[in-house]
């Protein structure tokens, strides 16, 4: 029974955090994600160079092994690529792009999907049926296919990639929001509120929405992870982000050609960074699911 979840917020949140922290693995996930977020935000401060500023690059530094010192006098902990870019810097800046795209796409998809889902739940009947048909149709297509075709049509660009990702993801949010809202809207107190003449807006924002949020949060973490992975895959294939905005996927792609010649560091380290980022989000999402999914019995 949640009459108004907005009321008892502070205490609930703290309790929630305490429960979350009971799984050490989940805490590790949260920490890793936090660290990577920090790295992305403070990128210029923690990297010796901006790898995409042509002025800072020196071809003499290309293909340095991890641990070698470059011409600018500092050590390249993770080596350099064939343009002389410090891999560490490339990773940190790449994280930025990956996170911006992933969080951006996830956030927008969440908003759009939630609106559609709650709307469908509230309206019911034919509109609901129709909307869910659209959702099912969307979901029956593999994400990669949809993204490929959209980007083929639209061309490269950060905004376009985000658009493609949102198109792929909104449906998950819509379905989840609708389920949660449906469960909530069937509760007696909603009928009571409606018969009292309480406005739709009040019902939506005061009750349906807050009670859908837990379910949305679970999906959100996992969808952001998926968005980041999908974007990385697209970049790797050469579709999507322009060369001027390289995400981790592109960094990995750049290093691809050098694998066979043994210069593994150009691909392995950025790959590890990507794995850590996505893994941490998945761990968080998994833990959230354990905590918030009402169907799961402890």
Chain residues that interact with other proteins, rule: CB under 8 A: 25, 140, 142-145, 148-149, 152-153, 155, 225, 229, 232-233, 236-239, 249, 252, 256, 259-260, 262, 264, 267-268, 271, 274-275, 278-279, 281-283, 286
Measured from the CB atom, the residue of 9 and 133 that comes closer to other proteins is 133
Distance CA 181, CA 187 (A): 10
Question: To the nearest whole angstrom, how small is the minimum distance from the Cβ of residue 153 to other proteins?
Answer: 5
Is the CB of residue 147 less than 8 Å from the CB of residue 165?
A: yes
**Which among 99, 35, 51, 54 has a CA at the least distance from the CA of 266?**
51
Determine what percent of the chain falls in helix, strand and coil, rounding each to the nearest 5: 70, 0, 25
Residue 233 C-beta: closest distance to other proteins, Å: 6
- Contact predicate 245/298, CB 8 Å: no
Cα–Cα distance measured from residue 35 to residue 145, given in angstroms and rounded to the nearest whole number? 33
- Could you tell me the smallest distance in angstroms from the CB atom of residue 69 to other proteins? 26
Q: How many CB atoms lie within 10 A of CB 255?
A: 23
- Give me the least distance between CB of 225 and other proteins, in Å please: 7
Nearer to other proteins by C-beta: 208 or 278?
278
- Inter-residue contact 99 to 34 (CB < 8 Å): no
Which residues is 75 bridged to in the sheet? Answer: 69
Q: Which is nearer to other proteins, 120 or 274 (CB)?
A: 274
Residues 184 and 207: beta-carbon distance below 8 Å: yes
- 126 vs 296 by CB, closer to other proteins: 296
Q: How far is the CB of 200 from other proteins (least distance, A)?
A: 34
The smaller minimum CB distance to other proteins, of residues 113 and 271, is found at 271
C-beta of 72: minimal distance to other proteins in Å? 29
Sequence-separated (6 or more) residues with CB below 8 Å from residue 108: 162, 166
Question: Other CB atoms closer than 10 Å to residue 140's CB: what's the count?
Answer: 8
CB nearer other proteins, residue 208 or residue 225: 225
- Min dist. Cβ of residue 98 to other proteins (A): 11
CB-nearer residue toward other proteins: 42 or 256: 256
Phi, psi of 258 (to 5 degrees): -90, 0
């Amino acid at each position: 029974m949640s009459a108004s979840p907005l009321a008892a917020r502070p205490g609930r949140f703290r309790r929630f955090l305490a429960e979350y922290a009971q799984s050490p693995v989940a805490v590790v996930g949260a920490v890793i994600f936090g660290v990577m977020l920090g790295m992305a935000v403070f990128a210029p401060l923690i990297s010796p160079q901006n790898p995409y500023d042509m002025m800072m690059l020196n071809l003499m530094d290309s293909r340095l092994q991890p641990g070698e010192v470059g011409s600018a006098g500092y050590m390249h902990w993770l080596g350099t690529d064939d343009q002389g870019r410090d891999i560490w810097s490339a990773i940190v800046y790449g994280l930025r792009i990956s996170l911006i795209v992933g969080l951006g796409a996830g956030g927008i998809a969440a908003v759009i999907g939630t609106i559609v889902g709650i709307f469908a739940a509230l309206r019911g009947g034919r509109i609901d049926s129709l909307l869910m048909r659209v959702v099912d149709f969307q979901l029956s297509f593999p994400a990669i296919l949809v993204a490929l075709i959209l980007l083929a049509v639209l061309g490269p660009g950060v905004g376009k990639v985000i658009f493609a990702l949102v198109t792929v993801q909104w449906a998950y949010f819509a379905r989840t929001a609708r389920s949660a809202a449906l469960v909530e809207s069937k509760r007696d107190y909603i009928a009571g509120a409606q018969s009292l003449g309480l406005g739709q807006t009040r019902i939506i924002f005061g009750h349906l929405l807050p009670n859908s949020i837990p379910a949305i949060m679970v999906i959100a973490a996992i969808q952001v992870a998926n968005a980041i992975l999908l974007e990385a895959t697209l970049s790797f294939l050469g579709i999507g982000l322009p060369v001027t905005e390289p995400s981790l996927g592109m960094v990995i792609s750049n290093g691809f050609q050098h694998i066979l010649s043994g210069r593994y560091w150009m691909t392995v380290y950025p790959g590890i960074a990507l794995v850590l980022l996505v893994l941490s989000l998945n761990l968080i999402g998994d833990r959230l699911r354990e905590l918030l999914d009402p169907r799961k019995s402890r």
